[in-house]
Structure 1
Amino acid sequence: MAERPTIRPAHESELNAVHDLADLAFHRGSTPLGRERRLAAADEVDTVVADDDGLIVGTAAAFPWPMVVPGGGEVPCAAVTGVTVRPTHRRRGVLRALMAQLTERARERGEPVAALWASEGTIYGRFGFGPATWSRDEHVRVVPEPVLRQPAPEPLGVRLLDAAEALPVLPAIHERARGRRPGIMGRPERWWADRVLADEPEDRGGASPLRVAVAAGDEGYALWRVREGRETHPVAAFTTVEVQELVAATPEAERALFTFVARIDLADELVLRQRPVDDPLALAPVDARAVRPLEQHEALWLRILDLPEAVAARAWAAPVDVVLDVEHPEDELVAGRWALRAGPDGGAAERTERPADLRLHARDLGSVYLGGVALSTLRDAGVVTEETPGACAALDAALHVERAPWTLGTF
């Protein structure tokens, strides 16, 4: 066995072995269709492996996807996925070496941020990833049906599509809707076909075929399945409408789609998956208890790879001039003191010798970038040090966003 595995790009002939290790690490088994889909998309993802004398003992990959930032613009993002280490090779620096290689390759592609869905909360903070978006599931009481305080247009313009019919329609709607909130990732065409609208029997998880509703003017869509069989009293067959995505480019379309799915006949309950934490639909009904938040969880974890580029890419809500002292033991290109000057006309960051106004870890820099976490909250948590009184409030005001950041789906 070599003293340390070699980190290198994966060869096409090794992709089955890459997916075998992912199955082992994430305690799952690939179906033939699932494996076929992943192999077909291999040319769209940058995959690296840890090679120990011919044995693949670690993997990591990144999709080069755009992410919406505050102000509605986009930033190139390394969407990190498939990070694994063979159980026999833990605690040998394999993960650190894989993350260093992914970081270098992302910078070569000009991606100033990286993002992932964290399988374990204690691992990725040391690499500078911090939770940056959150979502929650919501339960809607549909009997009696919820009445909105400001009624949406009657959903007569809503049309129903099957998954195949929806494929040429939904991507354009999603693209128009993305600019409303930071944190939403772009989706390539294959992702729509193989993940979002996948509707083979094995994609259904015991529920109905996928149903698609599109709002009038193609201003929004809702994806749902119906699940039967949860026994309750006094009914024996409990019917749940599970809305996987409800995405709209306008508030009116969002309310119209909500009204539509809440009125589906023979349904006992409605569950909305992955809604924003400031979901306006929760406040829309006359009955303030008609929409009940369920589990809330962090979604996207974000890491800053190029601070000047990241600062320049987003919009800033108020003037600010602060010096950040960033701790990042894994990345000397981000660690250190930075003068951050920003305002409604744009932002810039540059190295400085000025004394620090704020001291923070790189993971917290990732958390606050999209505006979903306040510096003042991190200060009160004891993880950000405010050397200059008022610095947290000033930066929080500059980072402010109209709507909470939000991320749909996983990768």
Structure 2
Amino acid sequence: MRIRRVSGDERLTTSFPLQSYAFDKSPTEQAVSAHYREFLPYHSGNHTLVAEEDGVTLAAASAIPMQQNVRGMVLPMAGVAGVATHPLARRRGFVRALLNQLLEEMRDEGNPVSALYPFRPSFYARFGYVSLPQHRSATFSPDGLGDLLRADLPGELRWRRIADGYADLRALTLRLLDERHGFAVFPDFRAVSLRDDRKWVVTAHVDGEVAGALSYRIDDHLGELSADTLLHTGPRGRALLLQFLARHADQVDRVKLGLLPGETPELWADDIRVATTADTRSAGSNAPMARVLSLDGLEGIAAGPVAITVDVVDDALLGGRYHLDGTSGTLAVDRSDAPAAVSLTAAGLSALVYGVLDPAEITLRGLGTVPVEAAEALRVLFPPRPPYVFAEF
């Protein structure tokens, strides 16, 4: 087996065919070629590795150079995607070898964290990833928002094709990146794929700033208005967007949109009847996962006023003993020879950093050994803080 990095047009004959077979419908050969070349620019900056035998590409994996907010600090993040194997080469260890090398290279390039959407969570758990909260969506009839049509709301709405409103939408996502733990954005070369999509976008403007945005499409008259996440910076921007949706009561039967964390759509209006779901039951709907690639790269994230020494075990990227000190209000990391108070796997450490598991759960889940007396220190150092991995564009 030979592992090497590919880029440019070489993707057309190496990684793209495997990814297309794994994730797309089976098209004709002519359609395959056109599809590949159309999407080639959106992959231009990806870090892509392929595994080969006798010159034949048998597996591929990519990392997208993204950014993610981790406890208030925006960090470089490796978004793993396009992991695929030739159907005759599966279960031979090609993907394991690719992922181990890919994560090491991304760490060495300065990415302290990584996230992905798994085809099977238990598979990526072996690589130190931990599951994060699933995205929630709300489905409702716009009739239920009728009260908002009579409200005199401050601000204004702008309704445009996505290509014309992309700059405002992108500006809002970058603002939310600075504000929300777990929020992630694609690099510009990938994000512009949304600008080139056939969607509408409505943006809410309050006090001269973009306070909300919703990209969407309508499948048919009296059908569904299917939207991406309802993005906003607060109640005013959200109310303007909901008022816009209320104006579609005679055009669509229902609206389905993604929700930011903490949203309570059942409280948006008196007469709204809404179904809120977080589906992980079907293929392709698994919750995101994330892991820490470098503890040193987390220096400066928000942390509680306590210090503790930890062993990170069974991980080639993170293995070692670290003194973690949050007494200044931000995390300081040093290598240490002092006795460790706890032992953590990479997934256990990642669960604490991302704020998704209590220290007591680390032991219960087999992700480390956390004595009772050390658990409280870890709760102070890394308080629970549910992340939201936004990465639509």
Matches within 5 A, 1:66-85: 66-71=67-72, 73-85=73-85
The amino acid that maps onto 1:302 is A
SS in 1 for 2:126: helix
1:174 and 2:159 correspond:
no
Q: 1:352 to 1:184 in 2, by over 3 A?
A: same
Q: 1:42 to 1:142 in 2, by over 3 A?
A: closer
Q: Distance in 2 between matches of 1:344 and 1:132?
A: 27
Q: Distance in 1 between matches of 2:367 and 2:97?
A: 27
**Who is 2:39 aligned against?**
38
The amino acid that maps onto 1:66 is Q
2:11 to 7, 12, 15: 15
Alignment check: 8 A CA contact 2:59 2:95 kept: yes
SS in 2 for 1:114: strand
1:406 and 2:393 correspond:
no
Q: Distance in 2 between matches of 1:152 and 1:81?
A: 44
SS in 2 for 1:89: coil
Q: Normalization by structure 2: what TM-score? A: 0.85
1:321 and 2:310 correspond:
no
1:342 and 2:331 correspond:
no
Alignment check: 8 A CA contact 1:49 1:60 kept: yes
Alignment check: 8 A CA contact 1:48 1:98 kept: yes
Matches within 5 A, 1:192-203: 192-194=191-193, 196-200=194-198
Give, in angstroms, the shift of residue 296 of structure 1: 4.0
Q: Distance in 1 between matches of 2:8 and 2:176?
A: 36
Give, in angstroms, the shift of residue 374 of structure 1: 2.9
Q: 1:58 to 1:76 in 2, by over 3 A?
A: same
1:222 and 2:214 correspond:
yes
The amino acid that maps onto 1:28 is K
Matches within 5 A, 1:51-70: 51-70=52-71
Give the paired residue count.
378
Matches within 5 A, 1:237-386: 238-266=222-250, 267-273=252-258, 275-286=259-270, 290-297=273-280, 299-310=287-298, 312-316=299-303, 318-328=304-314, 331-343=315-327, 345-381=329-365, 383-386=367-370
Q: Distance in 1 between matches of 2:213 and 2:89?
A: 45
Q: 1:281 to 1:390 in 2, by over 3 A?
A: farther
Q: Distance in 2 between matches of 1:184 and 1:299?
A: 14
Q: Distance in 1 between matches of 2:225 and 2:114?
A: 34
Q: Distance in 1 between matches of 2:95 and 2:25?
A: 20
Q: 1:160 to 1:67 in 2, by over 3 A?
A: same
Alignment check: 8 A CA contact 2:145 2:242 kept: no
- Kindly provide the CA deviation profile for residues 142-165 of structure 1, in whole angstroms up to 9, marking residues without a partner as x: 3332658xx986276111111221
Give, in angstroms, the shift of residue 220 of structure 1: 1.7
The amino acid that maps onto 2:219 is R
1:26 to 15, 23, 27: 23
The amino acid that maps onto 1:408 is F
Q: Distance in 1 between matches of 2:169 and 2:255?
A: 22
Q: Distance in 1 between matches of 2:144 and 2:90?
A: 54
Q: 1:144 to 1:75 in 2, by over 3 A?
A: closer
Matches within 5 A, 1:98-117: 98-117=98-117
Alignment check: 8 A CA contact 1:132 1:368 kept: no
Question: Unpaired runs of 5+ in structure 1?
Answer: 201-209, 229-236
Q: Distance in 2 between matches of 1:364 and 1:102?
A: 21
**Who is 2:92 aligned against?**
92
**Who is 1:231 aligned against?**
none
Root-mean-square deviation over aligned CA pairs: 2.8
Identity, in percent, stands at 26
Q: Distance in 1 between matches of 2:88 and 2:368?
A: 37
Alignment check: 8 A CA contact 2:65 2:187 kept: no
Alignment check: 8 A CA contact 2:362 2:368 kept: yes
SS in 1 for 2:92: coil
SS in 1 for 2:12: helix
Q: Distance in 2 between matches of 1:179 and 1:259?
A: 27
Give, in angstroms, the shift of residue 19 of structure 1: 0.6
